Amino acid sequence: MKVYAFVGPSGTGKSHRAQMVAKQKGTSYIIDDALFIKGNKVIAGTSAKKAETKIESVKRALYSMPGQVEEINKIIEKEKPNSILILGTSDDMVEKIARNIGLPEIEETIYIEDVSTPEEIAAARSARMAEGKHVIPVPTFEIKKEFSGYLVDPLQIFKWKGKGTTPFMTEKSLIRPTFSYLGNYIISDNVIRSIVEYISSNIEGIYKTQRIKIDNYSNGLFIYIDVILEYGYNLKTILEDLKNKAKKEIDRLTAMNVVDIQILAKGLHVNDK
């Protein structure tokens, strides 16, 4: 197995360019932020940026937490990759990661200065320092279960390395870690209720919502809705429409992961006419 490293100080844009560098080296496998990524999919690990403290985040990134090495080794044995790209903030860090996991010695190290201009590095540092933004090189849906309340934005990035090369689209996610110095934010259950009530009020055949119960777990939201329907409509179609539209709109407006929506038709309203 060939092991490559991509090194640059924190906040200089490594994760932003990780997939481009991996493509140049002919590998689909990336180790970044304690995540083991294949292409655009997380196949093992829990993001170090989900840690509650900076110290725990560093330990997790170095694969020093209990159970981490066993998990990634199991996946590596299953996948049998020909090569892996490791991201880190220093030569020492990527060497420790490779050593802790039990990978071969690093064959080649690429530095952020090799693939980014000074202006691009400065812009990345500014975003990190001023806004607390971190990039994870996987699509938003891949990390929602990890960051149901901390997602900032998805990024669609079109890459082209010049004449004779193949352009490709890569999606990444902007997040703020739980230990961000900017503090946390909370989306109240009342916001979710208001979204559901608004959606239901715009669906013909729903008379009113009676109860909206929200349970928020680590992997996302479980929502329970009781509705009164108008007599004379196809009940199944109305309930499916509410479920689909509510999930889509909550996802769009809050970036929170909706695991399940259960809707109960509690009764019918019969118009006097």
247, pLDDT greater than 60: yes
Residue 108 in 3-state DSSP?
Answer: strand
**Most confident residue range from 15-29, 118-132, 134-148:** 15-29
Q: What is the pLDDT of residue 54?
A: 78
Strands 35-38 and 41-44: antiparallel
Q: Which of 51, 128, 62, 114 is nearest to 89 (CA)?
A: 62
pLDDT tens for 208-235 read 999 999 988 766 789 999 999 999 999 9
Q: How confident is the model at residue 93 (pLDDT cuts 50, 70, 90)?
A: very high
* pLDDT at residue 114 is higher than 80: yes
Q: Which overall architecture, per CATH, does domain 189-269 show?
A: 2-Layer Sandwich (3.30)
Angle (CA) 49-55-57 rounded to 5° is: 20
How many helices (H) and strands (E) would you count in the chain? 9, 12
Contact (CB, 8 A) for 18 and 86: no
On the question of pLDDT at 80 being above 50, the answer is: yes
pLDDT bracket for residue 146 (50, 70, 90): low
- 2-175 CATH: 3.40.50
Q: Mean per-residue pLDDT for 261-267?
A: 95
Q: What distance in Å separates the CA atoms of residue 100 and residue 79, rounded to the nearest whole number?
A: 19
In this prediction, residue 188 has a pLDDT band, given cuts at 50, 70 and 90, of confident
Domain limits, the chain: 2-175, 189-269
Instruction: Kindly state the average pLDDT of the residues 48-62.
Output: 81
pLDDT for 165 equals 54
Residue 237 buriedness (CB in 10 A; 0-12 / 13-18 / 19+):
exposed
Res. 98 pLDDT band, cuts 50 70 90: very high
Greater pLDDT, 258 or 177: 258
pLDDT on residue 119: 85
Residues 133-150 have a mean pLDDT of 52
Give the residue, 125 or 157, on which the prediction is more confident: 125
Q: Is 215 helix (H, G, I), strand (E, B) or coil?
A: strand
Q: Indicate the helix (H) or strand (E) that contains 194.
A: helix 189-201
Is pLDDT above 70 for 268? yes
Question: Would you state the pLDDT for residue 160?
Answer: 47
**Which pLDDT score is estimated for 14?**
83
Q: pLDDT exceeding 70 applies to what percent of the chain?
A: 77
Given a contact cutoff of 8 angstroms between Cβ atoms, the answer to whether 145 and 219 are in contact is yes
> What does the pLDDT read at residue 150?
46
Confidence (pLDDT) at 136: 59
Query: What is the distance between the alpha carbons of residues 34 and 68, in angstroms, rounded to a whole number?
Result: 9
Show the CA angle centred on residue 251, arms to residues 249 and 257, nearest 5°: 145
Say what the pLDDT of residue 171 is: 46
Dist. CA 84–CA 4, nearest whole Å? 6
